[in-house]
Structure 1
Amino acid sequence: MLEFRNVTKAFGETVAVNGVSLSFTPGQMVGVIGRSGAGKSTLLRLINRLVSPGHGEIVFEGSNVATLSGRDLRAWRARCAMIFQQFNLVNRLDVLTNVLIGRIGTAHTLPVMLKHFSAADRAAAGLALDRLDLLPQALQRADTLSGGQQQRVAIARALLQNPSLILADEPIASLDPRNARLVMDALRRINRQDRITVICNLHTLDAARAYCDRIVGMAHGRVVFDGTPETLTRSAIQAIYGDEHDDDAVDENLTSTMGASLVARAQPELVAVM
């Protein structure tokens, strides 16, 4: 289990995460929602220690992640794979090599940088690409792929880390609706089949409601909602996205949630397992 215990992170005078206490049950798919600047990205970056907390503990299986350094920190980052909005692929390299870079956290760095990969690693990378319907593109340069394909390559790279957690920071924010659906389908499938915990920052309520077991809403660095999609009421949305002077924000995001049924109808296989 992953736990936040009264965690605070400030950047100068700006408090990005403010006294957050949360626990994440293994195997959950959690959507984190909120306005821009609510603290969503900082929350994920605290988990894999791209930033360190100023106060509090982040505990995973009895170990305080906030105190890790050196080899232990590298091992932890390998266990919690990170997927970014902008894919973070090496454009000049082929797709297969980009996936194999996922081994850098669990293998010696020099062989990885020289592209000296074992047959077992190459087979694992091919399997990961096949799961994401990208094996035919394995030898293409990464920059020849569409945005949605590149994000699925990033997911395949994450799988090669054999992670306990997958952290996805706005993974569909720059994608069109079809590619967004393919990426979210892939994350949900991995969550269900591999029982890997997925914590995903999302900018649309329809995606959070359609794909996530649990939704965490943040505002001004604090958790203001934590529950199932069914309990995400209008008042809860109000707390996340606006106050009594900002009804337009609530109306916009409530309308977005109404699209969830359309997303679900487009994915009967997803509905069958939810």
Structure 2
Amino acid sequence: MLTLDNLTKSFQGVRAVDGVSLSFEPGQMVGVIGASGAGKSTMLRLVNRLSDPTGGRIVCQGLEVSALRGRALMAWRARCAMIFQQFNLVGRLDVLTNVLLGRLNKHGFATSMLGRFSDAERTMALEALDHLGLAQTALQRADTLSGGQQQRVAIAKALLQEPEILLADEPIASLDPRNAQTVMEALRRINREQGITVLCNLHTLDTARAYCDRIVGMRQGRVVFDGPAAALSDRQAREIYGVAFDEAFHEAMTSTSLAPAVERAPALAPAA
């Protein structure tokens, strides 16, 4: 279990995350929603320890994450992989090498950049790409792919870390609706078929309702809703989004069942 206990982060006296206490069971898919500036991204960065908390604790299976330093912190970041809005790929490198960089924590920077990966790791990378419908792009430069394809490469790269938790920070914010659907379907399959916990920051309300079993709503750094997606009423959503409610609602994909299946990848194989 991952637990946030009174987690706080202040920037120049302003609390971006304000006393958040949450627990996440293994294997959950959680959508974190809220207007811009609600504290969603800051909270995920705290969990991954890309940012240090001002107060409170982060604990996972007895490990006090908020106290980790050095190699122990690097090991945590391998267990808790992060996907970003802007993909974080090296455009001039081929897709396969970008995915293999997910093994950075196993080799170190110099070895990884020299391409000294084992045959077993190359097989892992190709399998991850195949599961995401991208095996045919393995030798292409990453910057030749569409945005949706690049985000799936970023997901494959994260999977090479063999994580227990996958943090996705606005993974579809820069994508068109069809590619956004493809990426969200990939994250949901990973969650359901591999049992990886997924915490996904989302700006749009219906996307969270369609893909996530649990929703955490944030406003001004605080949690104002935490419960099943079906339990989130429009009244509660208005409290979360405030004046941005109409924008957040209407930008979203209305239904996974009605949306066209574009670039849909084959189902992921269950974890060994």
- Answer yes or no: same fold by TM over 0.5: yes
User: What does residue 272 of structure 1 align with?
Assistant: none
Q: How does 1:51-62 map to 2 (within 5 A)?
A: 51-62=51-62
Is the Cα–Cα contact under 8 Å of residues 83 and 155 in structure 1 kept in the other structure?
yes
The count of corresponding residues between Structure 1 and Structure 2 is 262
* Partner Cα distance (2:228, 2:257) in 1: 16
- What is the match of residue 267 of structure 2? none
Q: Within 2, Cα distance between the matches of 1:239 and 1:26?
A: 29
Deviation sequence 1:235-263 (CA, Å, 0-9, x none): 21121011xxx4xx334444556x53x33
Query: Matches of residues 1-274 of structure 1 in structure 2 within 5 Å?
Result: 1-242=1-242, 246=243, 249-255=244-250, 259-260=253-254, 262-266=255-259
> Could you tell me how far 1:13 is from its partner in structure 2?
1.8
The 2-side partners of 1:162 and 1:91 are apart by 23
> Are residues 267 and 163 of structure 1, via their aligned partners in 2, closer, same or farther at CA, if it must alter by over 3 Å?
farther
Amino acid at match of 1:86: Q
Q: Is the 8 A contact 2:85 2:169 kept in 1?
A: yes
| Partner SS, residue 133 of structure 1 | coil
**Are 2:132 and 2:186, in contact at CA under 8 Å, matched by a contact in 1?**
yes
For residues 141-187 of structure 1, give each alpha carbon's deviation from its aligned partner in whole angstroms, at most 9, with x where no partner exists.
00000000000000000010000000000000000111101100100
Higher helix fraction: Structure 1 or Structure 2?
1
Amino acid at match of 1:156: A
The C-alpha deviation readout for 1:110-156, integer Å capped at 9, x for no partner, is 22121111000000000000000100000000000000000000000
Is the CA contact (8 Å cut-off) linking 2:81 and 2:167 kept in structure 1?
yes
Q: How far apart are the structure 2 equivalents of 1:251 and 1:33? A: 14
Whether the 8 Å CA contact 2:204–2:249 is kept in 1: the answer is no
4+ long deviations beyond 4 Å: 254-257
Would you say the 8 A contact 2:178–2:260 is kept in 1? no
Gaps of 5+ in 1: 270-274
> Does the CA contact (< 8 Å) of 1:75 and 1:106 recur in 2?
no
CA distance in structure 2 between the aligned counterparts of 1:256 and 1:228, rounded to whole angstroms: 21
Cα pair 1:214 1:227 within 8 Å, conserved: yes
Runs of 5+ consecutive residues of structure 2 not aligned to the other structure:
265-272
The TM-score with structure 2 as length reference comes to 0.93
**Does the aligned pair in 1 maintain the 2:203–2:248 contact within 8 Å?**
no
TM-score by length of 1: 0.92
Alpha-carbon contact 2:151-2:183 (below 8 Å) kept: yes
* More displaced stretch, 111-120 vs 17-26: 111-120
C-alpha contact 2:102 2:158 (8 A) present in aligned 1 = yes
Letter in 2 for 1:232: L
C-alpha RMSD of matched pairs (Å): 1.5
Cα distance in 1 for partners of 2:56, 2:74 equals 21
What is the distance in 1 between the residues matched to 2:94 and 2:141?
4
Q: Report the 3-state secondary structure (helix = DSSP H, G, I; strand = E; otherwise coil) of the residue aligned with 1:115.
A: coil
